[in-house]
């Protein structure tokens, strides 16, 4: 039998604004307005300041741990800028710039890392899930959200973020398989930052790109410069259009780098070459975007000083809100369980006693409130025999 080729494909790499400030005017045409480029740069500066202060909060014992986003700001920010406000964001833990751009108050991230669960209570209307700490699990959540949206006939998509290390997890491959086989509108954004804690990306994937892993599932795949906000906007906008038009998923590999440690519990100097870090510092997404603005007379030193002062104030205010939040109440654990709390749990909430004790009206403390009297009356009526009822 003759030999024939059954598959021949390619993975493109997209770069529009390189590390030297060179801009591809053809690819970048009308991607981002001049006004929005300035806003995006300003936002990245605030997020960089947030990272610096969060690091200091941990080092001073005011926060448990923290994973820096430094060096990766363009990846999530460019993606979220390209999406609609009602598209689902399903992050891991290095997407602060994108989450803040969508409208998540900065103190929510601080509360999360301070161990306060209220940091995970996403405000209504933001269409995002809390940060996912287990590696790769959030990808399945994104698939479920996209599947639900398609079932309901909604015109929104889901975009999930994960690292290079997550592509070695079974959850990742299950998510890719489901999304492709069921024609689900999901954008998978892999932030390949070079390291999965101390394991280099080359040990996660021996292929030339991580993006090509999506080829096995028959989905569109592309690699881009993850430190180039223009490239991120283009590839995510293209992927979102495909998802809305054809309900097809896309795998995006955003090549970036974490300039800091994996978390504040890590010391990357033990496994990472200092020369490599210095090389990537020159590819910093903030540096190249500022150069782009300066070259077009849209930015100067005076604006930079003003922005830095404003960023300092914004982050300080967020820290103040996080640290001065009222202490949680014991009854808070009941408040998000049901839309309407069942009587049995209402009794537990009022008495802070188990359901079995709550059935005995003699054990219900009368606090003198109308609610406590209602509970006693309700419990009493359930314990009276049918013959004793009038």
Catalytic residue IDs: 258, 262, 271
Q: How many CB atoms lie within 10 A of CB 121?
A: 15
Cα separation, 276 vs 296, whole angstroms: 31
C-alpha 8 chain-centroid distance: 34
Q: What is the dihedral of CA 117, 122, 124, 127, to 10 degrees?
A: -150
Place of tokens 């939040």: 325
d(CA 139, CA 141): 5
CA 136 to chain centre: 12
Size of the chain in residues: 390
Contact 49, 70 (CB under 8 A): no
The long-range contacts involving 275-279, CB below 8 angstroms and separated by at least 24 positions, are 276/194
Non-local (6+) Cβ contacts of 47 within 8 A are 69, 73, 77, 96, 97, 100
């Amino acid at each position: 039998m003759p030999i024939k080729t059954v598959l021949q494909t390619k993975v493109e790499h997209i770069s529009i604004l390189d590390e030297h400030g060179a801009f591809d005017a053809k690819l970048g045409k009308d991607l981002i307005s001049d006004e929005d480029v300035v806003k995006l740069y300003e936002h990245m500066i605030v997020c960089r300041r947030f990272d610096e202060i969060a690091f200091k909060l941990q080092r001073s014992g005011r926060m448990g741990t923290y994973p820096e986003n430094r060096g990766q700001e363009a990846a999530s920010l460019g993606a979220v800028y390209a999406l609609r406000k009602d598209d689902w964001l399903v992050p891991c833990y290095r997407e602060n710039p994108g989450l803040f751009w969508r409208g998540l108050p900065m103190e929510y991230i601080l509360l999360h890392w301070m161990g306060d669960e209220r940091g995970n209570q996403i405000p209504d209307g933001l269409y995002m899930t809390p940060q996912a700490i287990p590696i790769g699990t959030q990808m399945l959540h994104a698939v479920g959200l996209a599947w639900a949206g398609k079932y309901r006939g909604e015109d929104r998509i889901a975009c999930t973020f994960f690292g290079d290390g997550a592509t070695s997890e079974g959850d990742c491959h299950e998510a890719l398989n489901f999304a492709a086989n069921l024609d689900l509108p999901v954008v998978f954004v892999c932030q390949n930052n070079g390291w999965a804690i101390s394991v280099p990306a080359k040990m996660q994937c021996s292929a030339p790109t991580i993006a090509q892993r999506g080829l096995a599932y028959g989905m569109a795949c592309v690699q881009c410069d993850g430190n180039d906000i223009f490239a991120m906007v283009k590839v995510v906008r293209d992927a979102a259009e495909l998802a809305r038009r054809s309900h097809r998923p896309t795998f995006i590999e955003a090549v970036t780098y974490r300039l800091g440690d994996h978390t504040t519990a890590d010391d990357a100097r033990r496994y990472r070459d200092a020369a490599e870090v210095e090389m990537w510092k020159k590819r910093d997404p903030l540096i190249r975007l500022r150069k782009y603005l300066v070259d077009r007379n849209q930015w100067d030193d005076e604006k930079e000083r003003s922005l830095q002062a404003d960023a300092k104030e914004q982050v300080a205010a967020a820290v103040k809100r996080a640290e001065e939040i009222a202490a949680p109440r014991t009854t808070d654990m009941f408040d998000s369980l049901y839309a309407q709390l069942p009587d049995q749990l209402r009794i537990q909430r009022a008495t802070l006693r188990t359901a079995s004790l709550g059935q005995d009206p003699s054990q219900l403390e009368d606090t003198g409130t109308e609610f406590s009297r209602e509970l006693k009356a309700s419990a009493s009526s359930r314990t009276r025999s049918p013959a004793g009822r009038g």
